[in-house]
Chain A
Amino acid sequence: MNQSICLLGLNHRTAPVEVRERYALPDVDPRDQGLIAAGSGVKEAMILSTCNRVELLTVGREDKDTAREILRFWADCCGGDVHELQDHTYTHRNLDAVTHLFSVASSLDSMVLGEPQILGQLKQAYRSSVKQGTSGVVLNRLLHKSFSVAKRVRTETKVASNAVSISFAAVELAKRIFGDLSNQTAMLVGAGEMAELAATHLLSAGVKRMLIANRTHARGCELASRIKGEAVLFAELFERMAEADIVISSTGATQTVIQRRDVQSIMKRRRNRPMFFIDIAVPRDIDPDVNNLDNIYLYDIDDLKEVVEENLSQRKTEAAKAMVIVQEETEKFACWLRSLDLKPTILDLLAGGERIARKELKKTLRRLGPKADDPEVSQALETLVLSLAHKLYHQPLDFLKRRAQEEDAGARYIDVTRRMFNLDNEPPSPDAHPDRRKPKSSEE
């Protein structure tokens, strides 16, 4: 391999937030800013810049010190100091870089293990690099591969399953009680930040209606207009609570606001339709005895925290399984990288041709019946089909050899050839056009 992959980055583990902010690289075009230029060792580049990490992924010439070039470019872009930046960055080269990227895409390197946000950010970063024209054969392949690795990790492990935030845990529990949330009404009692977050999650999970009861009505109205809910007067709290299936309480009251007898009378009016109470206030807003009523489910902040902590520990166990997948996929990518040299591609192409020729020969010999027993006939036919196969590949191979001598085009043409003849035996991606999902084998 005469190209090398280099990944330089900093993240929440290696740099404090002020450093991450100072060295963020949003909307930077590596070509415009001179990272990819004549004489530079960098040929392809992509920049991922999120609040928790900034990473520069490049493909360049093996004989150049691309890491130093990247570091200088990065410090220049941010008006920072190379030495300070170096103190907070990590560098991964070649297959280490591939493994790291696959781990990032699969959210194994995230602050919240398994959170899906990073994959979307990575896709966005890749789209930008395609738009800027800074991604080439290797990056294209590497990024597409990282998306499919992330998908495989999500499907084959439980690293992304189970809620790991209080509000997601509440939404999951609500689904367990009511199933579909699209017909449910939720009520916020108190309009704190946590309640608002839980409300947002419930709304995105499909809750039909949101009522907001706050002691300061104006604040309730303000929140209601922001989340498209309905503000209700605090004095009408229990009257309107009968309409709610899910109640999230987060008032700053020092004593419990919702008592067992209040809920009992609400349940009569609701004809026992179940209610889910989420008490995220400290000290608690809801009398714990409410949980003993039929068709009432009460979870306080400690109960939800426990759910979240158990889920997080389960994710950690699953992360080990996910790393095995990442290693496997890195190996596969390494094979592909090696195949970008001309020789393996020529050998694979000829071997593929010979395989088809021999298959057809076998069919023909079967059809010939007893005539095929003559060794001279079978020998002649074999020579014919094999030389035909080799001759058919002669022109494409000749073309490929010439292109391979051109520095920038070689890898691209080799990659196209491998894909055209499906030399890596890859199944079409699940989102491919239906015609591609059932490819007609060239051997049939």
Chain B
Amino acid sequence: MNLTETLELAVLALYFLGAVLHILAVLIRGPLLRSGGQIATLLGFGLHTADIGLYMARYGGDALGHGPFYFSLMAWTLIIVSLVLNWRLRMHFLALTSLPLALIVYSFATTLPSMEVILPESFMGLWFGLHIGTLFLSICLLAMAASAGAVYLFLEKKIKGKTKITGLSKDLPSLSLFDQVNAWAVNLGFPLFTVGLLSGFLWAHFTWERFFSWDPKEVAAIIVWLLFAFLFHQRLVNGWRGRKPAKLAIWIFALSLVSMLGINFFLETHHSFQP
């Protein structure tokens, strides 16, 4: 087993341990377990960063064209977004979504066959930074908003319906905190998504001399952007809060997942991850 494989295994093990400890901490209400989960996550994140660094050192700019590297980077972004949100909003609860999701995405990265996407040399840095970086960040923020939205809907139903709040629900943060995650995700995520999309079109224009080519991925991205824009507008201009933005965030995230996994793997597209 070489260094990369060892690192990958350690990252997977630590994220798994972090996820299990966080789940156990919620189930049996153990603050020590949660601290353990946080330590495991931070260690895993440290090793994951090292893994990404090593990959970049080995392949240089070419790494950006490797499919598995995308997924590794996506898992890494997911963890960093959840760590930042946890630090800003004290939402330990988000780890329950981000860690299992990061674990799945990272497992993808380690099991996918190495495949290459041919990228124009001159745009590598720009394309990577603007297109992938911003889209990753906004999708990870959406993931957090969707999970916070799901819990918001669950808790809100209980409060509105005057059902007794027992067990796990008792330990949940307040409704307003879950709504705040949504506000964060939308206020930060939408501008990032817009930059990601525009840079993609710009890149397409320089590569294929056309901004839009009716590629399924591009169509899906436009739909996601329109919904995201609607959510952004309603929150900002009409003061949407609570249930409606929670539901919409879940829909937008689900659509992003379909676009990322369904279209990239199963449809004819120039974003395909098929070797």
Contacts and interface: CB of A to CB of B under 8 A. Distances in A.
A273 interface: yes
Contacts of A272: 239-242
A303 interface: yes
Interface residues of A, number: 20
Interface residues of B, number: 18
B177 interface: yes
A262 interface: no
Contacts of A294: 241-244
Interface in B162-192: 162, 164-165, 173-177
A294 B242 CA distance: 8
Contact of B176 (A173, A177, A303): A177
B162 A306 contact: yes
Interface string A291-323: 100110101000100110010000000000000
Contact of A177 (B159, B238, B240): B159
A179 B159 CA distance: 14
The main secondary structure of chain B at its interface with chain A is loop
Given A173-B159, A291-B160, A297-B160, A179 B176 contact: yes
A294 B240 CA distance: 10
Given A175-B174, A178-B176, A179-B177, A274 B242 contact: yes
Contacts of B243: 294-295
Given A297-B160, A299-B162, A307-B164, A176 B174 contact: yes
A274 B160 contact: no
A273 B165 contact: no
A20 to B, nearest CB: 35
A272 B240 CA distance: 7
Given A271-B239, A295-B241, A179 B174 contact: yes
A40 B190 CA distance: 83
A179 B93 CA distance: 15
Interface in A265-298: 271-274, 291, 294-295, 297
Interface in B48-93: none
Contacts of A307: 162, 164
A430 to B, nearest CB: 15
Contacts of A176: 155, 159, 165, 174-175
A179 B164 contact: no
B164 A310 contact: yes
Nearest to B245: A272
Given A295-B241, A295-B243, 16 more contacts: A176-B155, A177-B159, A177-B174, A177-B175, A178-B174, A178-B175, A180-B174, A271-B241, A272-B239, A274-B175, A294-B241, A297-B159, A297-B160, A303-B162, A306-B162, A307-B162
